Chains A and B, each alone.
Chain A
Amino acid sequence: MLQDGLIMYEDSFEKINLILDELMKNSKSECVFLVDKSGQLITMRGNMEQFDSTAFASLSAGNFAATSELAKLIGETEFSVLFHEGVKDSIHISIVAGSIIMVVVFRVVKTSLGLVRLEVKKSVEHLAHVLKEMVERSKRDGQIKKLDESFTQAIENEIDSLFKD
């Protein structure tokens, strides 16, 4: 629902993408994603052609949520970082601004976990700042910003024409 819904504006989007591009370059990674806790992809940067980004986002959020529950069971509040090691590619998952999941995919031969971790740490601070701004602005605008009627009508027509046997 919109009171907790997120609204992303062009300027914050650009700022976020710049930070992610920088992170990718400095950590020599393949791609970076931001996903909200409900599993929706906020943005992604880098070369994603080889996999399905929507499924990836949903599974990352599920993975993070499940692991956080594991953490709670042993008395931790949340594992702040997850790392999945592959033969060719590895995945580093962390949380930004308390509520956004950041996933970095990197190639084992091109870079190292240490470097990725270091660069992630650096960019998390910048990102947290932009995201906080965005969340606050979303909250303010959530009350006023409505989709207009002709738009809602057009989507309903689309629903009718698409969601059928």
Chain B
Amino acid sequence: MSLINYASREINCKIVYYGPGLGGKTTNIKYVYKQIDPSARGKLVSLATEADRTLFFDFLPLDLGQVQGFKTRFHLYTVPGQVHYDASRRLILKGADGVVFVADAQRERLEQNIESLENLRVNLISQNLDPETIPFVMQYNKMDLANVMSSEELEQQLNPKGYLSFEAIAVEGIGVFDTLKAISKLVLKAISEGR
């Protein structure tokens, strides 16, 4: 739920990284945190298990600075991908303005990706968000590994509707900012069109 505050002159938007467990959602956010100009970011909050799996969410606020007197903020969240954390995933989607789906491109993870995409659809609907119109970007992560599917196959299996998609190696930062840029612009566009 975007918040436009004409009094404090701020625009706030929420972007959620979704996808199967171990796909690289947290890795994306951590890379952004590490690389971005420190003056543009707030504190990174990670609610994780001792084994470093996301338990509830990661949260990173990014601040674009003043543009025509307005401050624009993007709040990045990751959901916990493990199947049994579904209740938490639903909560994180509350008021989302855009979604990045981080797929694990390894062939043996295909089924988990498909399940997670279906789970996303169900959970968006449960939060009164429309899966057909919410700004959405697909990321195929872990492209450095040997057992990944080809881009054509990935597109065919996971992205039949042809949403904007990026290949990534999040551990090396490859594709991370391209993905973030794309979703931020889509979200902004949706807000400016009053969608």
Contact = CB atoms under 8 A, between A and B. Distances in A.
Report, nearest first, the 10 A-B pairs whose CB atoms are least far apart: A38-B95, A13-B7, A147-B192, A5-B2, A65-B91, A8-B5, A40-B12, A10-B7, A38-B1, A152-B192
Interface stretch (A25-33, A108-116, A125-133, A156-164): A156-164
Interface string A42-70: 11000000001011001101100110010
B94 A37 contact: yes
A69 B36 contact: no
Given A5-B3, A5-B4, A5-B191, A158 B45 contact: no
Interface of B: 1-8, 11-12, 14, 32, 35-37, 40, 42-43, 45, 47, 56-57, 59, 61-62, 64-65, 67-68, 70, 72, 75, 77, 87-88, 91-92, 94-97, 128-130, 133-134, 173, 177, 180-181, 184-185, 188-195
Contacts, number: 164
A151 B173 contact: no
Contact of A145 (B75, B97, B189, B194): B194
Nearest to B39: A162
A158 B64 contact: yes
Contact of A2 (B6, B173, B177, B195): B195
B8 A43 contact: yes
Interface residues of A, number: 52
Contacts of B192: 146-149, 151-152
Nearest to B65: A158
A163 B62 CA distance: 10
Contacts of B14: 38-40
Nearest to B47: A62
A118 interface: no
A97 interface: no
Contacts of A144: 194
A93 to B, nearest CB: 15
Given A62-B56, A163-B177, A8 B184 contact: no
Contacts of A142: 194
Given A52-B42, A62-B57, A158-B67, A2 B35 contact: no
